[in-house]
Amino acid sequence: MSELAKYQMYIGGEWVDPVGGEWFDSFNPYTGQPWARMPRGGEADVDRAVTAADDAFSGGDWPALSPSQRGALLRRLGDLIAENAQSLAEIEVRDNGKLIAEMAAQLSYVPQWYYYFGGLADKIEGAVIPIDKPETFNYTRHEPLGVVAAISPWNSPLLLATWKLAPALAAGNTVVLKPSEFTSASTLEFVKLFEQAGFPPGVVNIITGFGHEAGAALVSHPKVAKVAFTGGEMTGQKVYQAAAVGLKPVTLELGGKSPNIVFDDTAMENAVKGVISGIFAATGQTCIAGSRLLVQNSIHNEFVDRLVDFAATARMGDPQSMDTQVGPVTTLPQMEKILGYIDIAKDEGAECVLGGHRAQRPECGEGWFVEPTVFTGVRNDMRIAREEVFGPVLSVIPFDDEEDAIAIANDNPYGLAAGVWTQSIKRAIEVSNRLQAGTVWVNTYRAVSYLSPFGGYKRSGLGRESGKQAIMDYLQTKSVWISTSDEVPNPFILR
Ligand code: TXE
pLDDT at 2: 61
Interaxial angle between packed helices 157-170 and 185-197, expressed in degrees from 0 to 180 and rounded to the nearest 10:
30
What confidence tens digit (pLDDT) does each residue in 31-77 have?
999 999 999 999 999 999 999 999 999 999 999 999 999 999 999 99
Percent of the chain with pLDDT over 90: 98
Pocket (CB within 6 angstroms of ligand 1) = 151-155, 178, 180-181, 211-212, 215-216, 219, 230-232, 235, 238-239, 253-255, 287, 334, 337, 388, 390
Residue 1 has pLDDT above 60, yes or no: no
What confidence tens digit (pLDDT) does each residue in 424-437 have?
999 999 999 999 99
User: What spacing in Å lies between the alpha carbon of 371 and ligand 1's midpoint?
Assistant: 23
* Residue owning the nearest CA to atom 19 of ligand 1: 211
Whether the predicted model's global pTM rises above the 0.85 cut: yes
Q: Is residue 398 a contact partner of residue 380, using CB atoms and an 8 Å limit?
A: no
pLDDT at 109: 97
Residue 17 has pLDDT above 90, yes or no: yes
Residue 489 has pLDDT above 90, yes or no: no
| Average per-residue pLDDT for the chain | 97
What confidence tens digit (pLDDT) does each residue in 346-360 have?
999 999 999 999 999
What confidence tens digit (pLDDT) does each residue in 360-413 have?
999 999 999 999 999 999 999 999 999 999 999 999 999 999 999 999 999 999
pLDDT at 495: 76
Whole-number Å distance between alpha carbons of 472 and 171 = 8
pLDDT at 281: 93
* Residue owning the nearest CA to atom 30 of ligand 1: 211
What confidence tens digit (pLDDT) does each residue in 284-318 have?
999 999 999 999 999 999 999 999 999 999 999 99
What structural domains and CATH numbers belong to the chain?
Answer: 5-254+460-479 (3.40.605.10), 259-442 (3.40.309.10)
pLDDT at 368: 97
189 is a catalytic site residue:
no
What confidence tens digit (pLDDT) does each residue in 224-260 have?
999 999 999 999 999 999 999 999 999 999 999 999 9
Of 287, 371, 388, 465, which one is the catalytic site residue?
Answer: 287
Percent of the chain with pLDDT over 70: 100
Angle ∠(174,180,181) on CA atoms, nearest 5: 120
43 is a catalytic site residue:
no
